[in-house]
Structure 1
Amino acid sequence: MSGQALKTSTSSKCISVVLSGVGGQGTLVAGKLLGKVAMKTGLDVKVSEVHGMSQRGGSVITYVRMGCKVYSPIIDEGMADFCLFFEPLEAIRWVSLLKKGGTMIINSAPVKPLPVLLGNEKYPDRISERIKEAGEGNARVIEIDAKQTAVSFGSAKAANIVMIGALSIFTDIPESVWKESIEESFSEKPHLISMNLDAFQAGRDLVR
């Protein structure tokens, strides 16, 4: 798929990536993996979990900034080149961080909070339509079912790696660097390496 890419050869511009989801979806793991990949290409990187709650179900947002020299990990409103939303409602909450002409990749599988599951609150409707309306004319909007894709490889927890795979298509970073970084990230759990490599490749295939 053509479009803006993370150019590792760029010497001055900082690339800003937002990863947002809920607790338990592995947004920080994905952010650290992205940082590892960038460092392997010689870029300066800052990764920061700047908002959220550690318990499962709480909103979590991670910033990754990379470039020749990065002085702050903070991404201001309208400054993100890419946004990875691991849950649809997170896209509504944080779409304002995306710059005009940026790209957002959204996991279409909702994670409903406890009050919704108990019937005390209602999950917002028309999420997909609202996301597209928010990005219409200003951004590239890509929706994928990262959760179901990950389940097909053995675990819904690999959805974060599916999302990273989708992002990787928009970079000029060699596929081998991504895969090497995944292997290193899961070196202490070698039984998970093959599954996550498959999830990464599936994410790439979803957006080609």
Structure 2
Amino acid sequence: MTKSILLVGVGGQGTILASKLLTTGLMEAGYDVKMSEIHGMSQRGGSVSSQVRYGNEVYSPVIEVGGADILVSFEKMEALRWLNYLKPEGKIISNNYRMDSMPVLTGKAEYKEKEIEEELKRLDATMLNAADEAVKLGNAKVMNIILLGALVKSMKLEDINWEKIIKDNVKEKFVDINIKALKHGMELVSKEALATN
């Protein structure tokens, strides 16, 4: 059975690196994996999405509307923008983080923060303050790896050797902090699950 993961964010948030680590881990675990990326404008402010599909045999990298098992949003407005891609029973993990996109910065769109948060609450999204947690760990840039850890835990992919994947794909001086961030993301989802049960 094929599983579909949609990762979305704004350029500069590390969405693509998280997707590449995820894809590498799944391939090393023996899954057939297909990944596609869409960079609206992948520099800061542009919408970025990455689609990862895995299973015994995957024919297409593209997730159809209503086809994603899980939507991982690195920025909360992006979660709602991509919502139509989620299955009715699909899960949402959203970073409780605001990063204005180009339309907001240029005044073409309005950022309705309160409405976004209310809608995500109504949808029973798992909200994580990954940016704050990354700062607590000592490096704001590992926000993406915290979200990857949350995804790994949510999809029950903990048995993959993620430490090896990080060691093989991240600059040596950042390996330890990235491993810490991944584990921390997994713990945050466990705490969130306990809080809601």
Normalised by the length of structure 1, the TM-score is 0.84
Q: Quote the Cα distance in structure 2 between the aligned partners of 1:113 and 1:172.
A: 32
- CA 1:190–1:76 in structure 2 vs 1: closer, same or farther (change >3 Å)? same
What is the aligned partner in structure 1 of residue 174 from structure 2? 192
> CA offset at residue 59 of structure 1?
0.4
Residue 49 of structure 1 is matched in structure 2 by: 37
CA offsets per residue over residues 118-150 of structure 1, 9 Å max, x none? 8886421321102233x2xxxx52000011111
Identity across matched positions, percent = 42
- Return the letter of the residue paired with 2:43: Q
State the alpha-carbon separation in 2 of the partners of residues 62 and 176 from structure 1. 20
CA–CA separation in structure 2 for the residues paired with 1:41 and 1:170: 17
Find out whether 1:98 has 2:86 as its counterpart.
Answer: yes
CA distance in 2, matches of 1:121, 1:84: 23
For residue 165 of structure 2, the aligned residue among 178, 181, 187 is 181
Aligned-residue RMSD, C-alpha: 1.9
Residue 66 of structure 1: CA displacement? 0.5
Gaps of at least 5 residues in structure 2 are 191-197
Indicate whether 1:155 and 2:176 are aligned. Answer: no
Among candidates 81, 87, 92, match of residue 75 of structure 2 = 87
Change (3 A) 1:44 1:52: same
Within 1, Cα distance between the matches of 2:40 and 2:102? 17
CA contact (8 A) 2:46 2:102 kept: no
Taking the TM superposition and a 5 Å limit, the aligned residue runs for 1:111-122 are 111-113=99-101, 116=104, 122=110
Q: Which moved more, 1:65-74 or 1:169-178?
A: 169-178
> Counterpart of 2:184?
202
Per-residue deviation, 1:178: 1.6
> Residue 120 and residue 15 in structure 1: after superposition, are their counterparts in 2 closer, same or farther (change >3 A)?
closer
Greater share of helix residues, 1 or 2? Answer: 2
What TM-score do the two structures reach when normalised by structure 2? 0.88
